Structure 1
Amino acid sequence: MISNKGPSIGARHLQVLLLFFAIGVNFITRAYVSVALVAMTDAETTNPNFYEFNWNEKERSYILSSFYWGYMATQFPGGYLSRILGAKTCILIATVGSSLLNLLIPLTVYWGGWQVYCAIRVGQGLFQGLVFPSIHAHLAKWSPIEERTRLGGFAHLGVQIGIVLAMSLTGLIAASDFGWPGISYIYGGIGVVFCTIWIIFAENCPADARFITSEERKYIISAQEGVESKTKQRIPVPWKAILTSGPYISLLVVQSSQGWSSSIMQTQIPAYLHGVLNMDIKSNALFSTLPYIAMLIMSLVFLFGAGIVLKNQWAPLGVVRKTLNTIAMWGPAALLIGVAYLDENQKALAIAFLTLNAGLNGGMTIGSGLNAIDLSPNHVGILMGLLCCITNIIPIITPLAVGIIVYDETQRALWKIVFIIAAVFFFFGNLQYIIFGSTNTQPWNDADYQQKHDNKQNNSSHSTMTKTDTVNSIKSDSLKEVVS
């Protein structure tokens, strides 16, 4: 074990703090639209001084899902680009592009309608598709194995912070003198300011970092022996081994299941509160935010709890991950079924269930959210790119499916179907993760895995050819004897 870890608060913590803000800023842009759409299509409940758009439920569903059309397309290339350009450049490109497009929304949506809004959201998704493959690649470079859960969990708290800010501030901005156009201007401006800070302080890896002590650099690099460094030759990607890996396939399934249910929470809850529980946008924004405040608080509880358990070696990492994932998925599954049977007369109980649902779901980050780094620190950018590419098909489908099922958002019976389907995804997704999931570093993570695999195949092929030659030689000798 390395005794000298450098300063207790050092460069690795600065990088994780920057990742926390990077995730938060990008998640604000991703999540605020569900509340903004209520303001843009129902001015009477927000600010009647601004233009109101007459968009129906299907058109609003297109807007909500359009972000993920672009987001899915660049996830896989994002994994490659993070290896080639480095996480610093990729995250900068993603945040700048997404923020600048935000500023265009009020200037273009008047004449372009919901179609141009969809186009802008597709563009934002294209940029943000680079974010999470780069985030995990950056964490793999900067997080020593023994600190990976704590540092990775803290960085991912940016998800909850981003959603909380988007849900809580968006309604307030829309109801203020800025109106709904101010939403895009303020969030776009925040993104541009963050990018300036990112350019100054972000570093791709400890070996190249400026703001780091020699002790901390030695500690991080020594604790990550075998992890690909930017200064070394890149490790070939063992595609066949990855695509046939049971633990990785299990991770794909559990994340896809979670994606369905979480996209329901992020994009549909404002419409549910407005349509079924008859809340105006101000109270809607408040109660839409409560679940994510609960998620933030519970994520902190899960993060520190897992840290204590792992530090004292009370349970192995695999048990910790699967336990938290079970709490995060089976608890919400039961609560969603409960919500499905509540109506306007049980408003307080419905909000309590939704809040507790999101709070328990905060365990997903420490559960399966960081599992890709466990499986392969060297290829985590590729793993996350492929993972996010597949799982983000789900948020494209979800709003469209809800738009078909909930043809009248005031009908509780229609929302019941939506919530029960989400509960089923939660239950079976986690069940298979318990059975097939793993936190063991996979053999194909090794730097020379592909070379060994190729050599083994070549040797096997050579051995087969040698046996064939021997058999042919024996047959030839036998034939000669017969002839003679």
Structure 2
Amino acid sequence: MEILPDFEFDWTAAEKSYIISSFYWGYIFTQFMGGYLCKLFGVKRVMIWATFCSGVCSAVTPPLINWGGWRAYCGIRLIMGCVQGVVFPSIYQHLARWSPLEERNRLGALSYTGVDCGNVLSMYVSGMIARSPMGWPGISYISAAVAFACCTLWIIFGSNNAHESRFIGEAERNYIETSLQHSENFHKAIIPIPWRAIFTSVPFLALLVTRCADIYGFSTLQAEIPAYMNGVLQMDITDNALFSALPFVASWTMSYVFMIASDILLKNKWLSLTSIRKTMSSFAFWIPAATFIVIGFLDVDQKTWAIVLMTLSVGFCTGSVIGSCFNIIDLSPNHASILMGIINTACSGMSLVTPLIAGAIVTDKGDRSQWQIVFIITSVIYIVINCIFLTFGTAVTQPWDAEDFLLAPHPDLAKPSSITTKLKNKAISNYSR
């Protein structure tokens, strides 16, 4: 949620747009770096420093705004974006180190619900703080306090993997280590990264375009549909706290629905992991694709339906968390942070491209036919890219993830040895289509 104290500072619309976008310009450039830093220093250190620096940036925001105005605000948000760009690659690497195969969907989905929970809470708590004697600076100071508290928790309880943790029993450690099938080298060596194998991997490339399409569509949901509702349906949902919170509540709720459903399907062996990924991804793409087209044909008298369809779309988009987000860990647990860095860099670009494409098409915000073109393009992208994922996607761990493959003198040309073959055969037997 963007908090702009523009009621106290007379900022123009252009200056506000610079402030909001400054965070994302920093965020897009450190995704890849975050994955590499996790490989060098471990997730715990990266997360501690990222959380601590975010807290510092938040704490110094009010005095810097008073000193340098909107330009200083842009600068601090740029730095904050750079710092927070390493967070998601770290989270994925952490999940890869800690999540047994049978619990990966559950633990991953639970971690993702924190994002929606934070969005919903921030909408109400931030408003309460701003109206309190602390005023808008209190939002920054309390956010900083929360960041420092989280940083402290990471220092005390965080561990890069179960092998290093002081707070779990031997039985739990053995269960996690056995499930992840890591060898002794996993904790002792920095495994070389097979760049050529990654960028020529068909399942990874299918996942890359799927994640980009998902973010393109979600950006349309977040930015363009509210703009359409304002221009064509003559309603501003940003002025209504309930309407603004509904999509986040739907996302939060549906994440549990998808999590429970995938757990039941996997536990009872009704579907393989690959089939679950593709099924959930299809829900996340096909239903929003249909709602995009329908929303484009609503008129002023059907505002309620617009709210319902938008909320429904955001809710079902959450299926991509189980469908494609955690497929990163399936393909390569050893290099999850690297893959996430690559994918999130590309996805961040989609967030920047979406408003540019919509802006080029929609010259009159009150012209429904122009908006219909935007929504149809998004729907076509959703359907085509999901078909690509259905054809080429898989939850089978790739041969280039195996340690002996990567530690060979020529990793991209190495022949899979017995360990690689075992890993691959076991993965195929458990999670093949």
State the TM-score, normalized to the length of structure 2.
0.86
Distance 2:242 2:183 in 1: 44
Task: Rate the CA distance shift 1:251–1:120 in 2: closer, same or farther, 3 A.
Answer: same
Residue matched to 1:466: none
Residue matched to 1:8: none
Distance 2:327 2:252 in 1: 20
Is structure 2 residue 13 aligned with structure 1 residue 55? yes
How far 1:139 sits from its partner (Å)? 0.9
Residue matched to 1:346: 302
Distance 1:455 1:350 in 2: 53
Residue matched to 2:165: 209
Contact 1:61-1:403 at 8 Å conserved across structures:
no
Moved more, 303-312 or 273-282: 273-282
How far 1:168 sits from its partner (Å)? 4.4
Residue matched to 2:235: 278
Contact 1:322-1:367 at 8 Å conserved across structures:
yes
Contact 2:196-2:412 at 8 Å conserved across structures:
no
Distance 1:151 1:437 in 2: 22
CA-to-partner distance for each residue in 1:28-61, whole Å, 9 max, x for gaps? xxxx11xx35xx45x5xxxxxx3442224xx444
* Aligned-partner residue type, residue 75 of structure 1: Q
Residue matched to 2:79: 123
Residue matched to 2:420: none
Question: Secondary structure of the equivalent of 2:13?
Answer: coil
Distance 1:241 1:169 in 2: 47
Residue matched to 1:225: 181
Residue matched to 2:30: 74
CA-to-partner distance for each residue in 1:417-471, whole Å, 9 max, x for gaps? 5444433332222121111111111111111113557389599xxxxxxxxxxxx
Residue matched to 1:65: 21
* Aligned-partner residue type, residue 194 of structure 1: C
Residue matched to 2:279: 323
Contact 2:238-2:244 at 8 Å conserved across structures:
no
Question: Secondary structure of the equivalent of 2:39?
Answer: helix
Is structure 2 residue 40 aligned with structure 1 residue 84? yes
Q: Which runs of 5 or more structure 1 residues have no equivalent in the other structure? A: 1-31, 44-49, 460-484
* Aligned-partner residue type, residue 188 of structure 2: K
Give the share of equivalent positions with the same residue, in percent: 43
Question: Number of residue pairs matched?
Answer: 414
Distance 1:452 1:230 in 2: 15
Task: Rate the CA distance shift 1:426–1:165 in 2: closer, same or farther, 3 A.
Answer: farther
Contact 2:22-2:75 at 8 Å conserved across structures:
yes
Residue matched to 1:239: 195
* Aligned-partner residue type, residue 12 of structure 2: N
Bigger Rg, which one: 1
Q: Which runs of 5 or more structure 2 residues have no equivalent in the other structure? A: 416-433
How far 1:310 sits from its partner (Å)? 0.3
State the TM-score, normalized to the length of structure 1.
0.77
CA-to-partner distance for each residue in 1:340-398, whole Å, 9 max, x for gaps? 23344322111111110111111111000100111111111111111112221112333
RMSD between aligned residues = 2.8
How far 1:270 sits from its partner (Å)? 6.0
Distance 1:97 1:411 in 2: 45
Distance 1:168 1:411 in 2: 34
Task: Rate the CA distance shift 1:333–1:166 in 2: closer, same or farther, 3 A.
Answer: farther
Is structure 2 residue 155 aligned with structure 1 residue 199? yes
How far 1:280 sits from its partner (Å)? 7.1
* Aligned-partner residue type, residue 252 of structure 1: L
Distance 2:234 2:194 in 1: 51
